[in-house]
Structure 1
Amino acid sequence: MDHYVGIGELCVARAPSTIVTRGLGSCVGVVLHDINRSVGGLAHIMLPSSTDFTSYTNPHKFADLAIPAMHEQLLQLGGRNFKARIAGGAKMFATVSERAGFDVGVRNVERVRQVLRQLGIAIVNEDVGGSVGRTVTFEVSTGSVKVRSVGRGEQVL
């Protein structure tokens, strides 16, 4: 079964499933996978922290809320030993990003790493930074994570 994850969304699934997200610019795609239990998930993180906002309608767009939520959903599916792969966090608009502290891509990647570390989940591979958008395709049955970007083709994480 194929699943599409939009901006600020997440999806968890059992094998055989393919989960895809597109349009990762400064956003970060986070894949969690337990190969032994054949479960995995993909979140499309838009912003690093919910604490920067007094109210919000979608908790899954924030790294500090989406990753623990996805982790919990995967635990409920029987997952236990997760590995992570991340992609995105590009600097898409150089003039805006250069303002002090505004490089949201860098901040997203830093926060994703911090949350994964707090959960005890190792990042086994990543494709972050730069200035290109990315598409991530995750095959739950194999754990294969393919990242496609303009001008760079496709690579497997």
Structure 2
Amino acid sequence: MSMTPMSNSEYLDRVQFAEELAELEALVKASEYTYEGLAKALEVNKVWLTSAIKGQQWVPEEYCEKLAAILGVSADQTLFLSNHPYKGNTDPILYRLHEVLDTYGPAIKELIHEKGGNGIMSAIDFSIDVDVVPDEHGDRVVITWNGKLLKYSKMGQYPW
């Protein structure tokens, strides 16, 4: 019987293909691309692509091959992304909220750093809103988070 991880770290640290993901992330960091620029080159959503590179999305083989071509590497270095990642389970609504954070959290964090520099999102100077909006294909849930970007302090010499 497997035990559900108790923290995001425990969950994310057991990601399948951890070594391959680390190698791919290093390739991206060493390339001329930001995650956003890479997503534009692939013609996909930047959060989805960043989440995939963090091991949280299934990627169709044709996109794995396109990603390899853009990065100038062998498709063998990206095809592992076409495996479906492991995802946990809990209460249906809470599961979906956890799934969103587990799946997109590392990508959101990376994009906050990419766009805003090193720092964190405030949960004190913060607002959140939830709406359900009509859609011809089924109503949509819209959750808006708005947190102040807090830069890390440089109140001394590093390392502190």
The answer to which structure, 1 or 2, has the higher relative contact order (CA under 8 A, 6+ apart) is 1
Fold agreement, TM-score > 0.5 = no
Larger Rg, first or second structure (1 or 2): 2
Structure with a larger share of its residues in helix: 2
Using the size of structure 1 for normalisation, the TM-score is 0.26
Using the size of structure 2 for normalisation, the TM-score is 0.26
Structure with a larger share of its residues in strand: 1
